[in-house]
Amino acid sequence: MIASTAKLDYQMGYLVIRKNDITKIHLSEVEILIIESTAVSLTAALLCELTKKKIKVILCDEKRNPSSELIGYYGAHDTSLKIRNQIAWSDEIKKHIWTEIVTEKIRKQEAHLNYWNCAEAELLHEYIREIKFADETNREGHAAKVYFNALFGMNFTRTAESVTNAALNYGYSLLLSVFNRCVVANGYITQLGLFHDNVFNQFNLACDLMEPFRPIVDLKVKRMSLPLFEQEQKHEIISLLKEEVMIADRNEYLTNAIKIYTKSVFDALNDNDISRIKFYRTNEL
């Protein structure tokens, strides 16, 4: 993370950070670069190398909130084939996958409410039993209302301007960026989703894939003391990316778990086999 005035450039495989002194970091050690300050300048040579190495670059606005990201046009050597496959995914398999994703999301929300001993967890358990193919009865939407009210109070709404929503949105933005990176790195395009199909949303597919991971952000925000949401709180949420979860029978950093999960969803789509999907778990979720 670059949080103050600096000049960034590229030299012989290294990211060079020029402040009062000079720091060099080999690009092989970088997975995500967050430019938090608008007083940072970057060379075009560095941007090209970051794209080649598939390093996610997140740019923040003057309020230090994520506002955009760098995404390469070509994420894999067979991108053309991957995109053809993506277009050819049948509606049935996409709906099957979406049903699994929604079910897992509500399952994680239920576990989160159980962690806080919220009685509403039982209602979410019922919603899981009621889910139909492609969630045609919108159990996800009903669960979300119950879930957020149980966590943050009956007066809480996701549309209100509040410190809690600012923290949630920040965390979700970081997750979305990581998922966008994984989608592109696998050779697919982010615009064509499974369920989300908003023509004004460039990241429909990542919005689909990230759903079961949202409760990780919710848990972090719930644990935080939030009289305000400023740089210190943002850094605490960013630390989520370095936390470990269990996936595929081993502990992985969250960023690696997202890679494994995303690849497994693409395998499920291409093989018409929902059993290929690998979901994460934690002690709390």
Domain with CATH 3.100.10.20 in the chain: 6-70
User: Rounded distance, CA 124 to CA 146, Å?
Assistant: 8
Residue 73: the pLDDT is 81
Question: CA angle, 231 as apex, 230 and 237 as ends, to 5°?
Answer: 95
Q: Tokens standing for 171?
A: 């965390």
| β-sheet bridge partners, residue 11 | 14
Residue 15: the pLDDT is 97
Check whether domain 6-70 has CATH 3.100.10.20, yes or no: yes
**79-276 homologous superfamily:** CRISPR-associated endonuclease Cas1, C-terminal domain (1.20.120.920)
User: Rounded distance, CA 69 to CA 76, Å?
Assistant: 19
Residue 218: the pLDDT is 98
Using one digit for the tens of pLDDT, what is the confidence trace for 192-247?
999 999 999 999 999 999 999 999 999 999 999 888 998 899 999 999 999 999 99
User: Rounded distance, CA 119 to CA 113, Å?
Assistant: 8
Nearest alpha-carbon partner for 258 in 191, 186, 201: 186
pLDDT band for position 190 (cuts 50, 70, 90): very high
Domain with CATH 1.20.120.920 in the chain: 79-276
Q: Determine contact, residues 108/215, Cβ cutoff 8 Å.
A: yes
